[in-house]
Structure 1
Amino acid sequence: MSGDNGSPAASRRRFPAPAPPLDNDDLLSDILLRLPPLPSSLPRAFLVCKRWRRLVSDPAFARRFRARHRRSAPLLGFFTERDGILSFTSTLDPPDRLPRGHFSLKLEDKCRFYGCRHGLVLIINRMDRQFLVWEPVTGDLRRIAFPREFGNAGNKLVQHAAVLRAHGDVHAGEDHQSIPFLVALVGSDKACTRAFACVYSSETGVWSNLISTECSSMVPMHYHPSTLCGSSLYWLLGPRMAILEFDLDKHFLGVIDVPLSDDSYRMFQQWVIPAEGGGLSFLCMSDYSAQLWTRKVDSDGIAGWVLGRTIELDKLLSLNCDVAFSPMISGFAEEDNTTFFMTSISGFGVSAFIVQLDSARFKKPFSLANLDYHHPFATVYTAGKSILVRCRVTT
């Protein structure tokens, strides 16, 4: 065959050169998905040009962005409850700080806030015998009836509960995504001689069978949040101090002694936290010192507590030791192993500060309106059309 049509050069001219990466919408979207999951990331990209605006404002892109970063979600701030109002306070610096009042919610009558985790908020309504699971980012509000063994129809008492993301992927809807979740419930008999537990799955819509363990004269403290370590949830028991473990994978319920076995529950003074490298730790306050105990197994297979590091908070910060009350633990962020402390700091009054336990680094303190538990809230927040302002109620 002769002529230019058969030459290698002519063959190459028949196909247009591939578009540069930034001219290809699919490749550009993949690049934009790798932006850090901070509140300012997508709004800043939105302002670059019309093309970027079109890509990042697409609800499908927002779903992909949240799904990609949900396991490394940043700590946005914390929730507190007072006078029937669930209030959110941002702890980020500008331009990522969310406006005051963002994510806040007026609770229904007879409702109480139990905690938050994985971008989900758990509320209990004892009068209607149901839990409410709220997604502040999408506005979704799901209602879950108590198991039949609890409430008016049963003889068991709800003592505490926790919410967490299930192992499955998000369920994508037309314009938002729903996080598959679990609700773990712990309760007791009326005599408080046994503890009971079960778990609800949003994917199956049913509660698991009850499991129980002996737990004489101890119940989970109502106002103290749970802690997730690995596949287990932990609650502090009182009035005699102990730890209740609910292993969700093994469906096991048990009681663990605390390092000081004769200790009683002291509000704002003790917390169960994950240990470095896995396992369980116990944080307790002694004046201005934060003692970190770790649970270890010896050569005979017997588990016990070992005192590890002690963090001297008065040396870490300029604490006003003359007039301040001793630092108190008011919250713990599982995502980055940081602890919220409350105390009085020179120039700030009653304040909270956040300490990263692994490095002992701390964040600038901020003033507090009330002494209360702070429930850290970490999620991927994407502002724009994908955010539903009005709550969507599903049953």
Structure 2
Amino acid sequence: MLPPAAAPPLDDENLLTEILLRLPPLPSSLPRASLVCKRWRCLTSDPAFSRRFRLHHRRNPPLLGYFHGVFDEIPFEPIHFEPTLEAPNRVPPGRLSLQSDSNLHVLGCRHGLVLILDWPQLLVWDPVAGHQHRLAYPPGFDPDKSNGAVLRSAAGAGEVHFQVVLVVVSDYEERLLACVYSSETGAWGSLISTPTPSGDSPDTRVWWEPAVLVGDSLYWMIADTTLSNLLEFDLKTESLAVMQLPPEKSCDAESGVSHEHFTVMQAEGGGGLGVLSVSGFTVQLWKRKTGFDGVASWEMGRTVELDKLLSMGSQDFLTIQGYAEDNNLAFLWTGT
């Protein structure tokens, strides 16, 4: 008697699921697959499959676009979404734009969530699902002087719950403060603090630039008379620390414009903390390394001369517009 014939690959439920999991993580992939037949539609629309699909592609998510707008003019402008993909994966700009009759400022985006200062409160917005959560600032955190970051909870129900981390320089003592909000408890946690790097300097403040998540830590830039420090918030230990930036990274404290524009990033070659700096048409990549003596320091990696790669005139200039941490991409703006 002959053994039963093996089922064709596309008739094997488990094998078909594994094949569909490996479709490109683009907006059109699963909708197109769902049109093949009813069976494929049932598989791709299953919430359990959706969770597995997102988990499988968590290290290479597509960059759908970015948010921009003018946040300090009247009449108030909406927060616009600018798509970066071409059809059929292009998300219509209006689909992810936020209309408001108040002054909004985007503090950052992460894990499909947007953190917005909707003065005098915070707004956590899920632009795909359309959910909005409004939070009051904790005591001691001035909305005009605080910065923050949002991320999905590390708990098992991470697709639902989120955390907000706020940081500020205390007005009453020379300390940097942090506080964490959890949607699971619906409350702010205890204050976390560390001394400011410049003692009693009245100019010390946390920059408005969005935080960057590298490993288990969030990083913000700190400005005083010179821009020379990073503020690190360790998500695992819920602790604050201050570290110096690579040398010769200075800032005009009054205008807040850095002479050498830079962003925190994931370092090349194995990850870790890095910094990308722009001076003129030259880009430098730095990496934070710890020596055998346990002392951490900055080490310069590659230097890229962009005027030799791009057609740029003498009147051009470069600034960093943003950084996409999941994709490890920096966006540069040229003057012309």
Corresponding residue of 1:107 = 100
Structure with more contact order per residue of length (Cα contacts < 8 Å, sep ≥ 6): 1
Query: Once the two structures are superposed, what CA deviation does each residue of 1:299-326 show, in whole Å capped at 9, x if it has no partner?
Result: 433222222211111112222x1332x1
Q: Confirm whether residue 220 of structure 1 aligns to residue 201 of structure 2.
A: no
Q: Confirm whether residue 274 of structure 1 aligns to residue 274 of structure 2.
A: no
SS in 1 for 2:95: coil
- Which amino acid in structure 1 is aligned with residue 333 of structure 2? M
Identity of aligned residues (%): 47
Corresponding residue of 2:168 = 187
Q: Distance in 2 between matches of 1:304 and 1:67?
A: 34
Correspondence 1:152-171 to 2 at 5 A: 158-170=145-157
Corresponding residue of 1:146 = 137
What are the ranges of 5 or more consecutive residues in structure 2 without an aligned counterpart? 71-75
Corresponding residue of 2:291 = 298
Q: Confirm whether residue 329 of structure 1 aligns to residue 317 of structure 2.
A: no
> Per-residue deviation at 1:295?
2.3
CA RMSD of superposed structures (Å): 2.7
Corresponding residue of 1:374 = none
- Which amino acid in structure 2 is aligned with residue 198 of structure 1? C
Alignment CA distance shift 1:139-1:117 (3 Å): same
Alignment match of 1:283 (pick from 276, 298, 314): 276
Q: Is residue 266–residue 272 contact of structure 2 (8 Å, CA) maintained in 1?
A: yes
Q: Distance in 1 between matches of 2:169 and 2:324?
A: 28
Q: Confirm whether residue 123 of structure 1 aligns to residue 109 of structure 2.
A: no
SS in 2 for 1:65: helix
TM-score, with length taken from structure 1: 0.72
- Which amino acid in structure 2 is aligned with residue 226 of structure 1? A
> Per-residue deviation at 1:24?
4.8
Q: Is residue 169–residue 180 contact of structure 1 (8 Å, CA) maintained in 2?
A: no
Correspondence 1:303-318 to 2 at 5 A: 303-318=296-311
Runs of 4+ in structure 1 over 6 Å off: none
- Which amino acid in structure 1 is aligned with residue 267 of structure 2? A
TM-score, with length taken from structure 2: 0.84
Q: Distance in 2 between matches of 1:254 and 1:134?
A: 29
Alignment CA distance shift 1:204-1:68 (3 Å): farther
Q: How many aligned positions are there?
A: 318
> Per-residue deviation at 1:26?
5.6
Q: Distance in 1 between matches of 2:330 and 2:69?
A: 19
Query: Once the two structures are superposed, what CA deviation does each residue of 1:117-151 show, in whole Å capped at 9, x if it has no partner?
Result: 11111112332x3x221112222222223223435
Q: Distance in 1 between matches of 2:144 and 2:39?
A: 56
Corresponding residue of 2:73 = none
Q: Confirm whether residue 254 of structure 1 aligns to residue 247 of structure 2.
A: no
Q: Distance in 1 between matches of 2:287 and 2:59?
A: 25
Q: Distance in 1 between matches of 2:103 and 2:31?
A: 38
Q: Which moved more, 1:249-258 or 1:264-273?
A: 264-273
Q: Which structure is larger by alpha-carbon Rg, 1 or 2? A: 1
Query: Once the two structures are superposed, what CA deviation does each residue of 1:45-97 show, in whole Å capped at 9, x if it has no partner?
Result: 13323443344345554454334434432211111132431111121233322
- Which amino acid in structure 1 is aligned with residue 107 of structure 2? Y
Q: Is residue 60–residue 327 contact of structure 2 (8 Å, CA) maintained in 1?
A: no
Corresponding residue of 2:128 = 137
> Per-residue deviation at 1:193?
2.7
Alignment match of 2:183 (pick from 189, 193, 202): 202
